[in-house]
Every structure is written in structure tokens, then in C-alpha cells.
Amino acid sequence: MHTQQPAIVHRDLKPDNIMLLDDQKSIKMIDFGTARDLGRTAKEKLAAKTRVYTEGYAPPEQIVGKPEPRSDLFALAGTLFHLATGKAPEGFYTAREIETQLGEPACPYPAEQRWFYELIKINLAEDVNERYFTAREIKADLEKRQVTREVHCPKCKAVNKVREPYCGKCAEALTDPTAPCHHCGKTNRMGSRCCIYCGNRLR
């Protein structure tokens, strides 16, 4: 959905909208009545969308009518938390709770599962730029049973913190392009907080 042009966001991912099939292994997402495309032009992408969400599963940007693909990743993390613990998430407050618990000497999560709760915590971040950028990244880490923290620059091979937009050594772009800056119209990289061309604050 997120790789469609324009991108489509579900906007209401939660356990109620995931159906377990008869084989007891396969799942399907349901209830696409809230799904919307984000628009093709910069103006359409920036326009406020109808405020549709389920409390506890929706991130701040969606609550104010500005959903984007990473909003679904927040809801996915909330869903994983609910399915793993039996407790409904409380938005980014759950991320703070997990962070506290992971730092405690008597951490309630088994050592071999802590990477999983760290992944959930990252994707329940209040700041969209602190979450994973794509569902593809989440899938890769789930399959590897780890949280990726560093990446190598494809140009100079320097080690960079994951999700940094540019290499700290050679300035090579490390992340996917963003939508054009609504002030100057130029494209930046995911993870950039300000436009590198005009300095405008990016969402």
C-alpha cells in the first residue's frame, strides 16, 4: 500500500482489523474503509485529511489530520504490543513505559525477546523521524530477530547510525527521497528535519 503512487495509508490498523484465516497461520488485513491515498501533488500531500483513528493506535500526526505511511507503522507497533502482552497500547506513552522497563534491572521481558520490545518502542515514537521509515525495514528486522542500529555508506563504507539521511563522512544520501519541500519544491531525504536547500522545516 505504501509503495503505491500515490501512497495509500490504512489509518486504522489494530487487532480488530486483522483476520486469522482457517489455516491458523495466515492473516489478512480488513476494513479498508478508512484507507486513503496521500495525493499526487505537494499541495495534495500537505492538505489535512479527515481525522480517522483509534485512540492508542494512532500517532500524533494522524490525530491532527496529517497521516503518512509511518503512521501505519506506529499502529503496527501498537498492534504487535497488544498481541504480545494482551494490553491495549496507549500511544507513545507505551513507548516510554517499554523504555523504562528495558532499563530496569528486573526487566519483565526475557533477554531473548528484548530486541522485539525495542523494535516496538522505536515505532511508537512520538516523533515520526525516530520510527522506522518503511514496513520493509520492520520486516527485515523481524526476520533477523534484531534491531538494526548501523548502516554502511555504499560509497565510502563509513559506518553511520541507522536512518541518518546522509553519510557523516562523505555526505552520500543514505535514505529514500521525501516528498518535495513545500517551500522551495526540492527533494530531500527521509530523516531530514529541515530542507537542505532553503532551511524550511520539514514534516
**Average pLDDT value for the chain:** 91
**Residue 125 carries which DSSP code?**
-
- Quote the pTM value: 0.87
Q: What is the pLDDT of residues 109-168, one digit of tens each?
A: 999 999 999 999 999 999 998 999 999 999 999 999 999 999 999 999 999 999 999 999
178: helix, coil or strand? coil
- Whether 12 has a pLDDT exceeding 80, the answer reads yes
Helix ranges (H only) for 89-196 are 92-102, 114-123, 135-144
